[in-house]
Amino acid sequence: MAGHELFEAGQLAEAEHYFRLIIEKDPQDATAHVDLGVTLARQGDVAGGMAAIRRSLKLDSELVDGHYNLAYLLQGEGNSEEAVRHFSHVTRTKPDHYSAHFYLAVIREKLGQTRMAIDSYRRTLAINPDQPVALNNLAWLLATHPDATIRNGGEAVRYAQTLAALTQESDANVLNTLASAYAESGQFEPAVETTRKALRLLRSQSAGEEVLQRTEDRLEQYQQQRPLRSAQ
């Protein structure tokens, strides 16, 4: 079996051995260094994996897979700023790489770079319109952000309705996002009804008291025709 087949089959030690043999034969094979790095990381050796991928980028500084996989490992280790640099390289080189746009959005949101995060979420959805986390996170930001210049209720409703349809209204978190979007756009009756649906779902799933109370508080807020604002 070839290295990638071994990797996909979960035979990671064998895949590692395979990629090391390729590198032994051709130390300048940048792609093999990436493959080795990903395999090491999957086995739990993240530091070794990143070192192997960094070697690949010394051999080929434009290697998209090298930048993407290094960025992925970096963000997992909490090195957000360097991860942003490598994901940004991927999106510049390959603008249709939706996963890189998505991870950029998530990291930028965590860093408080809200406008850049929104732009990256929009780019993600322009390529993959059904990406559920992007739909939810973007709708939530547009519906609840405390900065009025960032909020856009109508756009938030569109994204949240798309996700509610994709999930067949079976996810209480999605319904809560949709309710917040309705409230931001001034549609308080649908916001109230959607929150009631979320509450019924949560109760049927024996959700915790804290989650139920938070949702009940939102219901009361929408009944008072007050939109939701998230803490930033």
Structural domain 131-232, CATH architecture: Alpha Horseshoe (1.25)
Please report, for the chain, the start and end positions of each structural domain, with discontinuous segments joined by +: 1-61, 131-232
- Which ranges of 94-152 does DSSP label H, i.e. alpha helix? 98-110, 114-127, 132-144
pLDDT of residue 231: 78
Q: How far apart, in whole angstroms, are the C-alpha atoms of residue 218 and residue 227?
A: 9
- Tell me if 1-61 shares its fold with 131-232: yes
Report residue 84 as tokens: 């942003």
> How confident is the model at residue 177, as a pLDDT?
98
Nearest CA among 192, 187, 162 for reference residue 176: 192
- pLDDT at residue 105, as a whole number: 98
Q: With beta carbons less than 8 A apart as the criterion, state whether 100 and 133 touch.
A: no
Q: What pLDDT is stored for residue 1 in this prediction?
A: 61
- Specify the amino acid at residue 67: H
Mean pLDDT by 10 residues, the chain (232 residues): 88 95 96 97 97 98 98 97 98 97 97 97 98 98 97 98 97 98 98 98 95 97 96 70
**Cα distances (angstroms) measured from residue 39 to each of 9, 59, 69, 148:** 12, 19, 11, 46
In one-letter notation, the amino acid at residue 59 is L
Burial class (CB in 10 A: 0-12, 13-18, 19+), 42: middle
Please tell me the number of Cα atoms within 13 Å of 158 on its side-chain side: 6
Question: Count of CB atoms within 10 A of residue 197's CB?
Answer: 17
**Region 1-61: CATH code:** 1.25.40.10
Reported as a single tens digit per residue, the pLDDT across 169-191 is 999 999 999 999 999 999 999 99
Q: What six digits make up the tokens of 28?
A: 């300048």
Helices 209-223, 188-204: crossing angle, 10 deg rounding: 160
How many angstroms separate the CA atoms of 121 and 136, rounded?
10
